[in-house]
Structure 1
Amino acid sequence: MSMSQAVEDAIFDLLDKAAPGKSVSPEDVAKAVDPAGWRRELGKVRAVAVGLARAGRIVILRHNKPADPDTFKGVWRMRLPTEAEKEHRA
C-alpha cells in the first residue's frame, strides 16, 4: 500500500468514526498513520487532503468554515461533505 493510500484510508477511517458533521485534525490522521513519527506525516496528510478536497470527497475547514483547498493557510481540519455540498458540486 502506498503512503498516500495509507493516509487516505486513515482520513476516511477517522471520519467514519466521527459523529456526523464533525471534523478531524491533520494531527489525528498523521498519528493514525505513524504514532511515533506523526509529525513527519503532516505534509503528506495535507497533500492527500487537498487532493480529496479538490475531488469533492472531503471538505477542508478553517475556523469551522469550508476553505479553498488551493489557498488555505494555518490551522485546518477536515470533514465529509454535507448533502448540500455534494449537490452543489454535482
Structure 2
Amino acid sequence: MSDPIEAAIFETIAKANPKGVDGKSVEPAEVAKVLQPEQWQRMLPKVRATALGLMRQGKLTITKKGKVVDPNDFKGVTRLRLPTEAETAAALAALPPKANDEFED
C-alpha cells in the first residue's frame, strides 16, 4: 500500500477496532487529523475521495447514520469502516468487467 491516505485510513480504523470484528467506524476527519494535524481541513476532501475509491473496490464501507451509502449519491456526515463479506462481494460485482489483454482465436 503506497498511498499514505489509504494507509492512514486503515491504520485509524485498526486503532479504533483492533480485533477487526465489531465493525467500529471512524470519521474521515479523524484520518485527516492523523495526516495533517494543523491543517486537517485541507486533507478532508482527499480522504473522502480516497475512501470513495476504496468503497468502490470493496475494501471499505462508508456509512451515514449507520446505513451504507450509495457511492454515487451521498453527502453530509459519514463514517468509514471495514466492509462485511457481503458488502465486498456487492462492490466487486458492481465493477465493470475487465478487458482481456490476450485475444483468443
The reply to whether TM is greater than 0.5 is yes
Q: Counterpart of 2:81?
A: 79
TM-score, structure 2 as length reference: 0.75
Is 1:7 aligned to residue 9 of structure 2? no
Q: Counterpart of 1:53?
A: 55
Q: Counterpart of 1:33?
A: 35
RMSD: 1.6
Answer 1 or 2: which has greater helix percent.
Answer: 1
The gaps in structure 1 that reach 5 residues or longer are none
The gaps in structure 2 that reach 5 residues or longer are 93-105
Tell me the matched-pair count.
87
Give aligned-pair identity as a percent: 51
TM-score, structure 1 as length reference: 0.87
Counterpart of 1:50, as a letter, is L
Q: 1:89: Cα distance to partner?
A: 4.6
Higher gyration radius (CA): 2
Distance in 2 between residues matched to 1:49 and 1:83, nearest whole Å: 18
Query: SS at the partner of 1:78?
Result: strand
